Homo-oligomer: A and B are copies of this chain.
Amino acid sequence: MTVPKSHPRYLSLITRDRLVEGWKNGLVVTQGLIAHGRGEAFDYLLGEVTVDEARKAERTAACRMLLAERLVISVNGNVGALVPGEVAELSRILECPVEVNIFHRTEERVSRLAALLREHGCYEVLGEEPDAKLEGLEHARALCSRKGIFSSDVVLVPLEDGDRCQALKAAGKDVITIDLNPLSRTSKTADITIVDNLIRAMPNLISEVKDLKEDLKAEKISRDDMERTVSDFSNDDNIRSVLRSISERFSSSDEK
């Protein structure tokens, strides 16, 4: 597709094209296109920028991921289509597996996603041969890998379904999500919710993790500092603050 770079909404239009491409290649289900449209609307409400609250959540998420014992990045069709390179880079710098974990599960789609993630150089790719189950979900949606999500302590699950997010919580995981809808069940259930566009959030997470790793090495910060950042973070407060900004944006839209 040919959206000119000069278009002021280039990033949004290119994102849409990338998703349509992923849908043509069998990575994205049609339902995923609709979900993306809804996400776009919420991004408008944010002004299509990374708001301060998202920045804070991204910083906190980076700390939590670096402190994890067994971190896993869970990837569905939309995430694979939109940010495969960023997922791969994040998994390499965190040395953690990436698990394909899709809502409308078919073996073919799982293999395609896994192949794509390998192509992009993920640290390790799981999910093709699930050998464990999460409680509280019906069969197809409960499947996961014993050495991946099942035994993880922290999961980064961008664009996750509310039910599955709750099942992960019930299984005792710390859940980090990226979700443009601050009112979604996923947003409310996760421990750290990054209310931001995946396309902006992933590069931010990568640079936060890189910075923290350097600062740790240079002893500019300690693991205790990172633990404090995590324990000081209130997800409820952060989401409420996002909702307040959206509401203000709406009422004081004299900006123009």
State the A residues within 8 Å of B (CB): 1-2, 4, 6-9, 13, 16-17, 19-20, 23-24, 30-31, 33-42, 44-45, 104, 138, 140, 162-163, 181, 183-185, 188, 236, 239-240, 243-244, 246-247, 250-251, 253-254, 256
Shortest beta-carbon distance from A85 to chain B in Å: 22
Q: Are B183 and A7 in contact (CB under 8 A)?
A: no
Additional A-B contacts beyond A16-B34, A33-B37, A41-B41 (14; CB < 8 A): A16-B31, A16-B35, A20-B30, A23-B30, A34-B36, A35-B37, A37-B41, A38-B38, A41-B42, A183-B254, A188-B256, A240-B253, A244-B251, A247-B247
Which of the residues B104, B188, B243 comes within 8 Å of A251, measured between beta carbons?
A: B243
Given contacts A33-B37, A34-B33, A44 and B183 within 8 Å (CB-CB): yes
Q: Are B247 and A8 in contact (CB under 8 A)?
A: no
Q: What 4 pairs across the A-B complex have the smallest Cβ distances?
A: A37-B37, A41-B41, A247-B250, A34-B37
Oligomeric state, in copies? 2
Shortest beta-carbon distance from A57 to chain B in Å: 17
Which of the residues B1, B19, B24 comes within 8 Å of A34, measured between beta carbons?
A: B19
Closest-by-CB residue of B relative to A140 is B2
Question: How many angstroms between the C-alpha atoms of A74 and B138 in the bound complex?
Answer: 40
Question: How many angstroms between the C-alpha atoms of A137 and B6 in the bound complex?
Answer: 10
Closest-by-CB residue of B relative to A44 is B183
Question: How many angstroms between the C-alpha atoms of A9 and B184 in the bound complex?
Answer: 11
Question: Could you list 25 A-B pairs, sorted by A, with CB under 8 Å?
Answer: A6-B138, A7-B163, A8-B185, A9-B185, A16-B34, A24-B30, A33-B37, A34-B36, A35-B40, A37-B37, A37-B38, A37-B40, A38-B44, A40-B41, A41-B41, A236-B256, A239-B253, A240-B253, A240-B254, A243-B250, A243-B254, A246-B250, A247-B247, A247-B251, A250-B250
Q: Are B181 and A44 in contact (CB under 8 A)?
A: yes
Closest-by-CB residue of B relative to A163 is B7
Shortest beta-carbon distance from A168 to chain B in Å: 16
Shortest beta-carbon distance from A38 to chain B in Å: 4
Shortest beta-carbon distance from A32 to chain B in Å: 10
Q: Are B181 and A138 in contact (CB under 8 A)?
A: no
